Amino acid sequence: MKREVLPPAFGPVMCVVGARPNFIKMAPILRAFAAQSTPIPALLVHTGQHYDADMSDRLFADLRLPHPDINLEVGSGTHAVQTAEVMRRFEPLLDQHQPCCVLVVGDVNSTLACSLVAVKKGIPVVHVEAGLRSFDRAMPEEINRVLTDQIADVLYTTERMAHDNLAREGVELSRVRFVGNVMIDSLLASREIARPAKQTVEQAGFSPAVLDDPRGFGVVTLHRPSNVDQVETLDPLLAVLGEVAERLPLVFAMHPRTRANIARFGLDPLLEHGRMLVLPPQGYLEMLGLMSGATLVLTDSGGVQEETTALGVPCLTMRENTERHITVEHGTNTLVGRDRSAILSAVDAILASGGKRGRVPELWDGRTSERIAADLVQWLGRRQAEVKV
């Protein structure tokens, strides 16, 4: 492919965030850029994919992420509309700011949209959290992951298996670096200041005494379209969560997608359970406090699977597959799908024996962003030399 223009070697690194998990990944990267002996210049672009105060502003504050330099305010829409809007609004920024590269994280629509725009303008793409695969092409994130990795120039991975996935897809391994997990950088940087679970529950208007159960409490997050967009899947899942709540109290931090679908399908009565505390989307410090104090976590989120592994808290993932295989192999994660008896027996096993202990995966040590910054400086230096020749 012939590239349109060669970027100047040292324009800023244009860092893209769009949705909640992106903010958690980007915060330590920007701090590491600023901490270099010659700070790496960065421009922070928020696509506006997530825009609610609960889904965005609060996370920025908790994570000490600087205010975005640019907000594209794309908001919600179908996949095509959202992706296209990000692309349309992102393109002029590249002409205006001439970045040396575009750095994207994770697998949301904003990740792919900005990568596509950049690569077609001849601007290198750096992908943090490359190579994860669920092998489920029905997942929108899997499409975003595969395509972003195909067009990225530098790929930073969280686990060694990602290299096999990338090699199988024909990605040149000289572009791939195993650096660890930036999500865990954020976790370790904030663990000490996480908000205690009881405070979070009280703040939401519930009695904190509910959490004094001898079995402790569970934490629930649920938002994957495959779980929450059809009444046939959401209804039985909420019913089984009601059965889990008979065993131990549950704190359910509810994503707006799930909230809207519960209302649309008339499923609110399934939440009327004295031991199921339904909270709005929580800030980062609140989620960290809830997860750290939990006996178990039930989720379909990718990030939560990793965070529970780092915290050593048993996690039951309500999906048939995961792209974070290492959390199952080495960590505390168990795939339970949507099957009622599998979920209940896994919960019972944890209540009886404490569940999987797991161990923290290699390089999930809180220093991944430092490694990325150091590597990027070298790569940019080599690129600058190539451009001069």
Active-site amino acid positions: 223
Cβ 105 vs Cβ 99: under 8 Å: no
Which CB sits closer to ligand UD1, 167 or 260? 260
CB of 319 to ligand UD1, least distance (A): 12
Question: How distant, in Å, are the alpha carbons of 91, 165, 313 from that of 112?
Answer: 13, 18, 32
Q: Give the residue from 144, 64, 156 showing the smallest Cα distance to 107.
A: 144
127's tokens: 């992908």
Q: Which residues bind ligand UD1 (CB under 6 A)?
A: 19-21, 49-52, 55-56, 76, 107-109, 140-141, 223, 255-257, 260
| Backbone φ and ψ of 122, nearest 5° | 75, 20
Cβ 266 vs Cβ 234: under 8 Å: no
Cβ 213 vs Cβ 286: under 8 Å: no
CB of 19 to ligand UD1, least distance (A): 4
CB of 261 to ligand UD1, least distance (A): 9
Which CB sits closer to ligand UD1, 140 or 242? 140
Residue 210: Cβ within 10 Å count: 17
Which CB sits closer to ligand UD1, 44 or 108? 108
The Cα 158–Cα 150 span in angstroms is 17
Compute and round to an integer the Cα radius of gyration of the chain.
21
Which CB sits closer to ligand UD1, 319 or 367? 319
CB of 351 to ligand UD1, least distance (A): 28
